[in-house]
Chains A and B, each alone.
Chain A
Amino acid sequence: MNQDKWIYTFTLDKEVNVSKSETSKNDAGEEITITKTIKEKKPFIFKIKKPNRKIIDDGDIFYAAKVGEYLKAGLLSKSLISKRFENDGGDLSEDIKKQYTEAVNDYYNSQLELDKLKEKEGSSLSDEDKKQIDELTPKILELKNILTEFEIQRTSIYDQSAESKALNKQIFWYILALTHWNKGKENGDFEPYFVGKTFDERCDTYDKIEDEENNNEFFLSLTSKLAFAISYWFNSGNKATQKDIDDAQNSIG
């Protein structure tokens, strides 16, 4: 049984009020203590819990219910959008399709070449081989970015579908259900950050925190980190590790 309890852990600085006391002597030579409340940045650890099957089941029900709700409200399904595009000749124009195929072929060939060179690595790499590795590495990275762009372009037509809208809601559902923190206590237990037994109760907590933090840097950074990590993990078929998520985040800067 997999005992990994967390998907992702990160630290975020948050401004907190700290009481600072200073002791000095007054003119009469008496000792006086002045306590001031000052704002100080303190690191907080956040963890995203690995959901068990029951939480995943609940998330799936939430998603399915939302899809049904959106379809009922008149949004189009992915399959219908896809059918309409097929009737109009597909979701990408002929030119773009050609560019996409070329980029895919180029990417796989370059990757194959690099793999072959890396097999030789350490033993018999010639200067020419080394030069080729230096050229291929950035080329592959660039091709990867081009392919991601194509993918975004291709999938963007589905952005307004009932399924895409429901998926965004489901990611938000996961954020509320899985985010934990230890309230800044070093050895404290990790507890749910968005407190509540149901989705609606957790939404209330979210709104309350949003109001308190007044969309400050901390809150924006927290929600964006959570959304990225959970989306990445979700899209990886629930397989992404801490390192995978960190690498992905670093690659986009």
Chain B
Amino acid sequence: MNEFILELQDINSEDLAFLLFRHILLGSSFDYQNKFYVKHNSLIESTYITENNKILEIDSKRRGLFSEKDKLIILEKNGSWTKEEEERYQERFKRITDLQISKKKLVIPAQIKQAQILFEQEMRDFSAFFIERDNVLGLTLESYVNTQTYQYYLKNFFFKDEALTERLFSDEDFEELPQYEIKKYYDYYFEFQEVFNSRNLKKITCCPFILNTFFLSKTPVDFFGKNISELTLNQISLYSNYLYYKNITESADFKPPPQECYNNLNKLVDYYDQQYSFISSKNNSKKR
């Protein structure tokens, strides 16, 4: 992972919060290490990706590619990949996915380390089996569409300029890029999304200066100057966070954060969350 992403994954100062706030307002981030701009995803962009995938699926089906399901039926009839082998694969795959999910939920370092060891052990034990399945299955509709999605991201989310008009690679250069290179940009994009994780977005919103600015607006359209359908997913999340903090601060039971919280964004977020729990439980008991 590059330093740019690592540095911003867990922001702890108002300066960094401002930097990301700027990125969110602009709808893109400048990677000062790689010297390119990364466009933030939006609702409308997400629908384009879905549409693009659908078109690719129809086109590749017309060209004779089989879906994973159809290919598995052929392979089973043929004896190349039995039902039992597939069940074993699905079971293992589920186990590894579950391990991955539960690992993400852990917070205690020792538990994370233990979960990582377990995950790596599972991967080691079954990687040969997974590779065997990949080889037998070959290219399918789904795997083809996946690789084409990588290309979509590179073509539509990476730019040379802040106005996002000049693509990082010209059409000609893009066609010459090998698949593994394209995959790198795709992986980068998803690592980069981590910068805008929910915790960071909360930290940005509850920065006093930013939160006060939000209070001046009546609607997201008012704040961002765009229709909601044109907003990026980060802009929508930021505004939702503002509504969350607005509800908390407008409650008669709300107590403003103590001064020391303002020097630590993590403490500030935790304080607001505690206030939310306190206000919610009080409201619930009133209702009862």
Contacts and interface: CB of A to CB of B under 8 A. Distances in A.
Contact of B175 (A54, A64, A66): A54
Interface stretch (B73-81, B121-129, B257-265): B73-81
Nearest to B61: A65
A61 B144 CA distance: 8
Interface stretch (B8-16, B18-26, B63-71, B220-228): B63-71
Interface stretch (A24-32, A75-83, A218-226): A75-83
B173 interface: yes
B4 to A, nearest CB: 24
Contact of B176 (A53, A69, A80): A53
A61 B78 contact: no
A77 B82 CA distance: 13
A63 interface: yes
A236 to B, nearest CB: 15
A77 B136 contact: yes
Chain B residues touching A, range = 20 to 34
Contacts, number: 69
Given A61-B64, A79-B135, A68 B178 contact: no
B132 interface: yes
A71 interface: yes
Query: For the complex, would chain B's binding face be called helix, strand, loop or mixed by DSSP majority?
Result: helix
Contact of A60 (B135, B136, B139): B139
A2 interface: yes
Given A69-B64, A77-B78, A80-B78, A64 B138 contact: yes
Contacts of B147: 57
B65 A79 contact: no
Interface in A51-107: 52-54, 56-57, 60-69, 71-72, 74, 76-77, 79-80
A2 B136 contact: no
B140 interface: yes
20 contacts: A52-B176, A53-B175, A53-B177, A56-B179, A57-B147, A57-B179, A60-B139, A62-B63, A64-B65, A64-B138, A65-B65, A67-B138, A68-B64, A71-B75, A71-B80, A76-B80, A77-B78, A77-B80, A77-B136, A80-B78
Interface of B: 60, 63-66, 70-71, 74-75, 78-81, 132, 135-136, 138-140, 144, 147-148, 173, 175-179, 182
Per CB-CB distance, the 8 closest pairs between chain A and chain B, nearest first, are A65-B64, A64-B139, A77-B80, A52-B175, A68-B66, A80-B80, A79-B136, A71-B74
